[in-house]
Amino acid sequence: MTQPNIVIIMADQLAPHFCGAYGHRSAKTPNIDALAARGMRFDAAYCNSPLCAPSRFSFMSGQLISRIAAYDNASEFKATIPTFAHYLKALGYKTCLSGKMHFVGPDQKHGFEDRVTTDIYPSDFAWTPDWEAHDERIDKWYHNMQTVKESGVAIATFQTDYDDEVGFAARRWLIDRGRDKAAGKGEPFAMVASFIHPHDPYVAKPEFWDLYSDDDIDMPEFNLRPEEQDPFSRRVMDGIEASYTPLTDEEVIRARRAYLANVSYFDSKVGEIVKTLGDMGELENTVIIVTADHGDMLGERGLWYKMNFFEHSARVPMIFAGPNVAQGTASNACSLVDILPTVLDIAGGTDDMLGDPIDGRSLMPLARGEQDDKDEAIGEYCAEMTPYPVFMIRRGALKYIHCDPDLAQLYDLSNDPHEKINLADDPAFATEAKAFAEEVAGRWNSEQLRSDVIRTQKSRQKLHAAMEAGAGEDWDYNPPSDASQQYVRNHMDWTVAASRYRFPPVDGSE
């Protein structure tokens, strides 16, 4: 079997609602749109936890966060958990991570053979929440409305610095794979290129800001005052200071315009990688997957950022293009835990190579345009702004959200895509609501999970204090770089170096 290359391009905090391929009226995302036009667009793809690190750990492991104790942005991603990078290497792939994966802990590669950039966020236990004081803000790293108020334009930010580096490093690594193949090394490659945009702060480069006018920007479709919120949403609203920090329409429009501009900026990075694959002659032999770790509420329901299971926060774009991928759309609910079995399927792996049980299924049948009886996504949230786990089950058109101290929520997304009407107490949906409630009770032990979360929070808080005092070493990843082996040095023949680096090579040379 010929193993295709695999390239996963990941955004941070990209809601599919703000992509042209998903119907946004003014989003300028030509590169994502082009992939969707020749491939498969998944219309009900979800993250498994609407926060960066937990979502990414599920994505890498194919396991739900409760199974691997990946509760929040300061939970360790343990080195004993197999990832798709481990499995792909075992299947003969050369693997690389360029960009963010928010790994927490001393293992900063998790199976990737090459990692060509540092990360952008802390890799230690600094961002540990406290469920015993869940209503107290941690000002050093909690979101707040000042981020929205300061939205706008800048020539550079730490985020554009980072993503420009991620894009460059990804393309250089890919070109090196082309050089390897020209020299007769034929192993397939798998890369994850993971960018920080369009994650807040909502600050855009002028050339992308200028792609839009204020007339291109819609105000949020559905707004709720603090007193109208469900209890969990109210806790999030209070936590991000949205309950008592009013925003003007101009501020909301400016933030949403900058977000759209940064979506276009991310789209440009997608285009650069696709072009590089084409320049290498590998585009037709590469499965490309575009996705994100979670979305962004952007003012919908009066909420911003993520940390909830409403559509703008929990849904993600998911687009496949490449060999054995049909052209079309897939309506089945799916999620990021499905990526691991999907890439193993693409690479020719089998279930007997799995080191851990997984919670996902291969999406390749759907990608090929075939039927799939499974229409389900499961979500868990165990991070800040809640004292108890929050669970989501999306099955068919229905979405059920549960948190022990709160009233249940049930939405029929086929008739109510903006989740305006909670059907949990509607007599017409009594059977469905009861079945979901029983499923939650059978699937999760919420009290035990809460105890587990608090226990790890306490230990991580103590460990972080010790590390701050000097115990141990920083875990932040430093990409290896040996200048003595780069470009042309005195111990090498410059003509050999020139031949090695020239791509495509001169006819007749290696």
In a domain, 395, yes or no: no
In a domain, 426, yes or no: no
Residue 139 has pLDDT above 90, yes or no: no
Helix ranges restricted to H, 281-336: 311-314
Q: Percent of the chain at pLDDT above 90?
A: 90
In a domain, 422, yes or no: no
In a domain, 104, yes or no: yes
pLDDT digits (tens, 9 = 90+) for 430-447: 999 999 999 999 999 999
In a domain, 406, yes or no: no
Residue 500 has pLDDT above 90, yes or no: no
Average pLDDT over residues 388-407: 97
Of residues 506 and 56, more confidence is placed in 56
Residue 136 has pLDDT above 70, yes or no: yes
Average pLDDT over residues 483-507: 86
Q: How confident is the model at residue 345 (pLDDT cuts 50, 70, 90)?
A: very high
Tell me if residue 400 falls in helix, strand or coil: strand
Mode of pairing for the β-strands spanning 286-292 and 318-321: antiparallel
Are 394 and 329 in contact by the 8 Å Cβ rule? The answer is no
pLDDT digits (tens, 9 = 90+) for 62-79: 999 999 999 999 999 999
Q: What whole-number distance in Å separates Cα of residue 53 and Cα of residue 444?
A: 21
In a domain, 72, yes or no: yes
> Among candidates 202, 224, 206, which has minimal Cα distance to 296?
202
Q: What whole-number distance in Å separates Cα of residue 436 and Cα of residue 445?
A: 15
Q: What is the mean pLDDT of the chain?
A: 95
Mode of pairing for the β-strands spanning 328-330 and 318-321: unpaired
Average pLDDT over residues 182-193: 94
Q: Structural domain of residue 287, as residue ranges?
A: 5-389+444-501
Residue 355 has pLDDT above 90, yes or no: yes
pLDDT digits (tens, 9 = 90+) for 196-238: 999 999 999 999 999 999 999 999 999 999 999 999 999 999 9
pLDDT digits (tens, 9 = 90+) for 148-165: 999 999 999 999 999 999
* Amino acid (1-letter code) at residue 367: A
Entry pTM: 0.96
Residue 89 has pLDDT above 70, yes or no: yes
Residues in the chain: 510
> Domain holding 377: CATH number?
3.40.720.10
In a domain, 94, yes or no: yes
pLDDT value for 483: 92
In a domain, 420, yes or no: no
pLDDT value for 1: 58
Token pair in block for residue 344: 């193993």
pLDDT value for 472: 83
Which residues are designated catalytic? 52, 102
Q: What whole-number distance in Å separates Cα of residue 453 and Cα of residue 445?
A: 12
pLDDT digits (tens, 9 = 90+) for 35-65: 999 999 999 999 999 999 999 999 999 999 9
* Amino acid (1-letter code) at residue 395: R
Number of domains in the chain: 1
Tell me if residue 361 falls in helix, strand or coil: coil
pLDDT value for 510: 43
> Among candidates 381, 341, 348, which has minimal Cα distance to 362?
341
Residue labelled with tokens 């397939």: 188
Q: What whole-number distance in Å separates Cα of residue 54 and Cα of residue 121?
A: 14
Residues in CB range of 168: below 8 A, 6 or more apart: none
Token pair in block for residue 416: 């109510």
Average pLDDT over residues 166-177: 98
Q: How confident is the model at residue 141 (pLDDT cuts 50, 70, 90)?
A: low
pLDDT digits (tens, 9 = 90+) for 122-131: 999 999 999 9
pLDDT digits (tens, 9 = 90+) for 262-298: 999 999 999 999 999 999 999 999 999 999 999 999 9
